[in-house]
């Protein structure tokens, strides 16, 4: 992926990693369009970044995605990069028998990117050069038991990214997967944003941008902080690592 000269859609671009990525790409001269459910967050981000565009999108609602894609490509015909960043992460107690959180998480984190990708892939294939960037998580590889469906959707996104990359191997569309660690955002509330155990957001984005610039053909973007989670299975000591990781995270849970 070229780090400059693109027209980029970033879902979930009004806050957290999405906003920080949008601002980093915008600062490098790319045309950036952020999408999300909250107009106020989109307005605040674009006001702070003159020239950045925005569009409302409820990624959980399948009926809105086709119309969104049609409007987006009409208004931004040079669109050549899509970053599927929108997501939710909520604790679940499997013992209570409820599935509302699981269903909302699957709709947003997994079906949303799949549906939006399907709606935009024809346009991307028509571009001289294009990139689809999915956003999974270190928790795709070492699950956090507090958020089982979130971790499962991110594991599915990793699998989907590999299949998508293979299917598009002879096309002009590159597939990259961004794999964040635990980052200081409000994904799970104010506590996470201020948690000293989480990676500072600005440090994460700076490392991500350096990696994209230095490894433009990479399949996965892995900052150093995420590698223990990413490669736990390969270490041959996964069970012990999984237990230690979940015990540690449980001690810091609200």
Dist CA 245 CA 224 (whole Å): 17
Given the residues 150, 160, 166, 182, select the one marked as catalytic: 150
Beta bridge partners of 5: none
Whole-angstrom CA distances from 106 to 55, 154, 253 are 22, 10, 23
Q: Count CB-CB contacts under 10 A for residue 200.
A: 11
What values do phi and psi take at 59, rounded to 5?
-65, -20
Whole-angstrom CA distances from 198 to 136, 182, 186, 192, 221 are 17, 5, 11, 7, 18
Q: Is 182 annotated in the active site?
A: no
DSSP code per residue over 150-171: HHHHHHHHHHHHHHHHHHTTTS
Residues identified as active-site: 150
């Amino acid at each position: 992926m070229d780090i400059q000269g693109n027209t980029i859609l970033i879902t979930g671009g009004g806050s957290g990693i999405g906003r920080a990525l949008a601002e980093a790409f915008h600062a490098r001269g790319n045309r950036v369009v952020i999408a999300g459910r909250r107009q106020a967050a989109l307005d605040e981000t674009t006001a702070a970044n003159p020239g950045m565009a925005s569009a409302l999108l409820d990624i959980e609602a399948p009926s809105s995605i086709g119309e969104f894609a049609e409007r987006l490509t009409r208004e931004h015909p040079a669109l050549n990069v899509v970053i599927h960043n929108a997501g939710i992460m909520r604790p679940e107690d499997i013992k209570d028998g409820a599935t509302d959180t699981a269903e909302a998480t699957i709709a947003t984190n997994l079906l949303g990117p799949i549906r939006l990708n399907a709606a935009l892939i024809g346009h991307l294939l028509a571009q001289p050069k294009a990139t689809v960037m999915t956003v999974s998580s270190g928790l795709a590889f070492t699950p956090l038991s507090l958020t089982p469906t979130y971790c499962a959707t991110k594991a599915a996104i990793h699998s989907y990214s590999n299949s998508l990359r293979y299917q598009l191997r002879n096309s002009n569309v590159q597939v990259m997967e961004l794999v964040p660690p635990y980052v200081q955002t409000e994904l799970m509330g104010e506590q996470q944003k201020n948690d000293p155990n989480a990676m500072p957001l600005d440090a994460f984005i700076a490392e991500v941008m350096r990696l994209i610039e230095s490894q433009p053909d990479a399949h996965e973007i892995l900052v150093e902080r995420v590698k223990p989670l990413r490669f736990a299975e390969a270490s041959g000591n996964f069970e012990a690592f999984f237990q230690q990781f979940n015990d540690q995270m449980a001690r810091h849970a609200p």
